[in-house]
Amino acid sequence: MSEARRIVLLGPPGGGKGTQAKRLEEKHGWPQLSTGDILRKAIADGTPLGQRVKAILDEGRLVSDDEIMGVISERLDQPDCANGFILDGVPRTVGQAEALEALLRDKGTPLDAVIELRVPDERLLERLTGRFFCAHCGANYHDTFHQPEVQGKCDYCGHTEFTRRSDDNPETVKGRLAAYHEQTEPLKPFYEARDLLRVVDGTQDMDAVTADMERVVGVA
């Protein structure tokens, strides 16, 4: 088991966050905590907070930062997070970053690093419009850059069904990238001021990106 590391992972859609988080989780035991997955699990488990979130979503309202942080707090208290974690999808705003900072301070588990996977928009457009996923475990693949080792069979779980996102088309992707930049740019000075932000070149091959991420968190 590697040393504990608590990481926030920033990066645009298609930047490789999911792939890299899965690699680090498998190698070092730091669970990838996706905000969407955390919310869905809290709802499925029927926790009091999960029930409140379900009611909010059923009414078509947005989940507040307080509710999101509450669900994250529950998840961080699970035993598999004792040796660190990788937060993916939160924070999205400076307000969430401040709330996360306070939450982790109260738990005595401050962040070790905020890693930004940086990829130019033109490269992201190419990546996103050609990507597909294992329908069972969610592993990422691409028509050009990353086919399964055995055609039609997932490298990770062996299943043979794949899917594509309906919004992986050029116009929608451009809108998603614009929204990402608008949301994320204010987070950079926030974490730079705390000497936590580390930038990794996400255009490298997967092994080089993983190695750089390990280097910046001191486990290479």
Q: What are the binding residues for AMP? A: 35, 40, 61-63, 96, 165, 176
In contact, 91 and 100? CB cutoff 8 Å: yes
Annotated binding site for ATP: 14-19, 131, 204
Say which residues have a Cβ less than 8 Å from residue 215's Cβ, sequence separation at least 6. Answer: none
User: What interhelical angle do 35-45 and 65-76 show, nearest 10?
Assistant: 80
**Which residues participate in catalysis according to the annotation?**
17, 92, 131, 165, 176
Q: Which residues are annotated as a binding site?
A: 14-19, 35, 40, 61-63, 96, 131, 134, 137, 154, 157, 165, 176, 204
Instruction: Show binding-site residues for Zn(2+).
Output: 134, 137, 154, 157
Q: 57-91: buried (b, 16+ CB within 10 Å) or exposed (e) per residue?
A: eeeeeeeebebbbbbbebbbeeeebebbbbbbbbb
